[in-house]
Structure 1
Amino acid sequence: MDPTSPTAAGRWARPAFWIALYLALIALPLLVLLLGDRPGGGGFAWDFALIVGYAALAMMGVQFALTARFKRATAPFGIDVIYYFHRYLAVVAFALLVLHVVVLLVTRPEAVGSVDPRVAPGYMSLGWLALLAFVAIVLSSLLRKTLGLGYDAWRRVHTVLAVLGVLFALLHVLGSGSYLVTPAKRAFWIALALSWVLLAIHVRLFRPLWLRRHPWRVAEVREERGRSWTVAVEPAHGHRFDYQPGQFAWVTLRASPFAMREHPFSISSSPTRPGRLEFTIKALGDFTATIGGIRPGETAWVDGPYGTFGTDHHPEARGYVFIAGGVGIAPIISMLRACADRGETRPLWLFYGNRRWDRVVFREELDALAGRLDLRIVHVLGDPPDGWEGERGYIDRAVLERHLPARGEELHHFVCGPQPMIQLAERSLRALDVPASRVHSEIFDLA
């Protein structure tokens, strides 16, 4: 595709717009502080520490927007990328917050005063509480699995700490005065903080209210290979659910949509077969280990679809290469089913990594799809059975080079599976001179 064509220009314009908006949401609150009256006499270190603190608070606040799941804003990037962006920007914001505290402690310890809440001003104690809340957020997020903190419990704690941290920080800056020396500036920052809280309310109240009016019913639960299960759901009131092959949704089972017990799962069914959604899930975590106990007739809540991982986003490709590991086949089987139903004639390759042959999910269906499509399937096993003549080990450069055409840069590549497998596949494709714009990875672990 010509990079100057209108279609290509549109693809660049949309992400550029949302990136510019994000930067504006961070910069505008800081620019407001510089308008009109400003405090004087503090010196460079004092002003630097204050501005860094305000910047940290603004970044923390905009985090609520990043996780609000606005489909139009996340579409140019993919919501999995947005969640990773959210995670790393939270670390940056926290680093700025720590810098704010350290600079003040080193240059103006008398302004910081005592940490003892019995003698310290209330606004300073609130500042320390905000810092503790953000410390708890960062540590519990980065070390969630190490700490053995369950996903559901972590999400509830994360939300409560985030709201309290931002509110405590806002009360801290309002109490300290500093750059908020005029009623207009104070009103602006109060309105800004309220908008952040409203975003949290939108996610935790208004969206669950909408979901509650659109329930689903479990139609089937069937066991697959590799300790995986496929859960099929159908809309209880017959409402439409339009999606593209390769997308995912947040699913709530055996809980209210208000309970914050939703989990992201790839859709394994195809939109060419409407009226029913299927999610293929591996029994791995605290919730997924119980998935086989779900029974037909139970109520489900589905929030979606989300994601840009799919062939429909790249119709110009000469062909498609799919690289999957384990249950990472779920979004890829959705694309393959859609390709077969649509009569796709372009060449397709599937590299599917598993440890053992008896754990290959959808093994028989993949063989059937190979008969309907121009599909070459390459199974790669880590622990192959006796007499195995196929590929062994990992899906690396050597495996890809043996089976892909020389001009693989004309193809689009879709990678889904465990993070180490994704990283290896991406490195291997780079070594084969595949442009990054033609490699699309679906990230499993959003938290």
Structure 2
Amino acid sequence: MTHPKANRSSAAPWLGAYLLVVTAPMLLLLLGGSSAPGRGFAWDFSMALGYAALVMFGVQWVLTARFRRATLPFGIDIVYYFHRYLAVCALAIVAVHVGLLFLEVPQALGSADPRRAPAHMTAGRAALVLLATVAVLALARRRLALEYDRWRMTHWALSVTAMVLALWHVFAAGHYLDLPWKRGLWVLFAAAWLAIVLLVRLLRPWRLSRQPWRVAQVRPEHGRVSTLVLEPAAGHRLRFAPGQFAWLTLRHSPWSMHEHPFSIASSATRDDRIELSIKELGDFSRTIKDMKPGETAWLDGPYGTFSIDHHSDSSGFVFIAGGIGIAPVMSMLRTLADRGDRRPLLLVYGNRAWDRVAFREELDQLQQRLDLRVVHVLSEPPAGWTGEHGLITQDLLARPLNSLQAERGDREYFVCGPTAMTQSVEAALAALGVDARRVHSELFEWV
């Protein structure tokens, strides 16, 4: 997945900052030795790994705190993927930390029986078990069919508990914290982590609570899609770039953690009326069609870098969407139409059947307002269908793209749909000679 060219140069400083934050405390703590001298290299290395892993777990909270400036170079979907697999790396580092002590300094671990072991050692063991549980549940959530809201609250509660226990373990053990400045360093780290928790769980919900939205309409679309139309209840606005998304909370307070990310489908020229087109795919999305006008909603956004506005100098755009992946594309097409943009556009839109093609009537109308060509692709076409059918393959894409001729290399490509489709389309575009830097994908399953 690639993101706006204007932001790529700013990615390196953020990656460097991450490495500095993770390694600096470890290196500084090793200065001046340990309160347990004579342990040797295995001891020092094990302690260093333990400190580094704890910092990594602490930084995990920063990665999911939705700081726009930090996520802009990568896209928040990539940051969430980064968060997920860094947790596995941190767990592996903790495992090496414990394994080295077990092999080289077993007396340092003491008894595993909580009735005989020091409380801080039991706290460390409990933290490790909880963090491992958090990682396993996150990676296997869909396979285990865990309900999203319940998993999210469990994920948060276990993570907070594990961090508190891990910090207790570090401070009580006291290794390498014998000097005031070293202990102060970890006090600062603990305070920063606590500040992030309070920001995410108290300050941000409080801010959202002061900007409620009202359900103005629920509009049915083809393909089991419902468009939720929201209007501000207090005169505020949500300024966004076409293609971005927001976190939606319905029938719960902003503090409840019952929020879900959805692409904004409406035109960015109207910031006083937000439309979210949502397909029935899970427990929450199936309730959208039952929402009533006048109900209160909360929006946290906008987020994301999947937008034509990052490529204002492009000669034209190619959109490739599958299913409800059309939602952010509709926002971009509607915005271009409202702006009177006449650049050439191509949309390749895949669906299973014709009666499931969301926005098909509006797409016909947009072809009159834009220089837009729409290519519908059906995997189960009806009798007499003369259009494209099957999957969106390299051979299929080559047909409409060949008509672009020399212009193909000057356009920006936006791909959104199920993960398998996105990966296949990215490979097909590469085989067709499209520069990967011009291909921008929105990951479909990142939470």
Aligned length: 440
Kindly indicate whether residue 125 of structure 2 is the aligned counterpart of residue 125 of structure 1.
no
Q: CA deviation at 1:28?
A: 2.0
| Segment drifting more, 405-414 vs 197-206 | 405-414
Q: CA deviation at 1:326?
A: 0.5
> Match for residue 293 of structure 1?
290
Cα distance in 2 for partners of 1:331, 1:13 equals 25
Q: CA deviation at 1:373?
A: 1.2
Q: CA deviation at 1:190?
A: 2.0
Q: Secondary structure at the match of 1:226?
A: coil
> Match for residue 442 of structure 1?
442
Query: Among the aligned pairs, what percent are the same residue?
Result: 54
Cα distance in 1 for partners of 2:161, 2:177 equals 21
Kindly indicate whether residue 340 of structure 2 is the aligned counterpart of residue 343 of structure 1.
yes
1:8-60 Cα offsets, whole Å, 9 max, x none, are 6x634322222222222112211221233435321222222111111111100
> Match for residue 322 of structure 1?
319
1:92-116 Cα offsets, whole Å, 9 max, x none, are 1111111212222222222212211
Cα distance in 1 for partners of 2:100, 2:286 equals 47
Q: TM-score, with normalisation over the residues of structure 2?
A: 0.96
Kept in 2, the 8 Å contact 1:163–1:197? The answer is: no
Q: TM-score, with normalisation over the residues of structure 1?
A: 0.96
> Match for residue 223 of structure 2?
226
Q: Pairwise mapping of residues 244-393 of structure 1 onto structure 2 (< 5 A)?
A: 244-393=241-390
Kept in 2, the 8 Å contact 1:30–1:54? The answer is: yes
1:356-396 Cα offsets, whole Å, 9 max, x none, are 00000000000111111111111111111011111111111
Cα distance in 2 for partners of 1:211, 1:32 equals 40
> Match for residue 29 of structure 2?
33
| Segment drifting more, 133-142 vs 171-180 | 171-180
Q: CA deviation at 1:146?
A: 1.8
> Match for residue 193 of structure 2?
196
Cα distance in 2 for partners of 1:415, 1:195 equals 37
Kindly indicate whether residue 392 of structure 2 is the aligned counterpart of residue 398 of structure 1.
no
The structure showing larger relative contact order (alpha-carbon pairs under 8 Å, at least 6 residues apart) is: 2
Kept in 1, the 8 Å contact 2:414–2:439? The answer is: yes
Cα distance in 1 for partners of 2:79, 2:114 equals 38
Q: CA deviation at 1:65?
A: 0.6
Cα distance in 1 for partners of 2:8, 2:276 equals 32
Q: Specify every segment of 5 or more residues in structure 2 that has no aligned partner in the other structure, as ranges.
A: none
> Match for residue 4 of structure 1?
none
> Match for residue 423 of structure 2?
423
Q: CA deviation at 1:303?
A: 0.4
Letter matched to residue 192 of structure 1? F
Q: CA deviation at 1:272?
A: 1.4
> Match for residue 72 of structure 2?
75
Cα distance in 2 for partners of 1:409, 1:20 equals 32
Letter matched to residue 433 of structure 1? G
Aligned match for 1:137, one of 134, 138, 152: 134
Cα distance in 1 for partners of 2:7, 2:230 equals 34
Cα root mean square deviation, aligned: 1.4
| Segment drifting more, 165-174 vs 220-229 | 165-174
Cα distance in 2 for partners of 1:420, 1:13 equals 29
Cα distance in 2 for partners of 1:239, 1:30 equals 46
Kindly indicate whether residue 11 of structure 2 is the aligned counterpart of residue 15 of structure 1.
yes
Kept in 1, the 8 Å contact 2:30–2:48? The answer is: no
| Segment drifting more, 396-405 vs 242-251 | 396-405
| Segment drifting more, 158-167 vs 376-385 | 158-167
Kept in 2, the 8 Å contact 1:57–1:169? The answer is: yes
1:255-295 Cα offsets, whole Å, 9 max, x none, are 00000000000000011133100000001111111111111
Q: Specify every segment of 5 or more residues in structure 1 that has no aligned partner in the other structure, as ranges.
A: 1-6
Cα distance in 1 for partners of 2:425, 2:350 equals 11
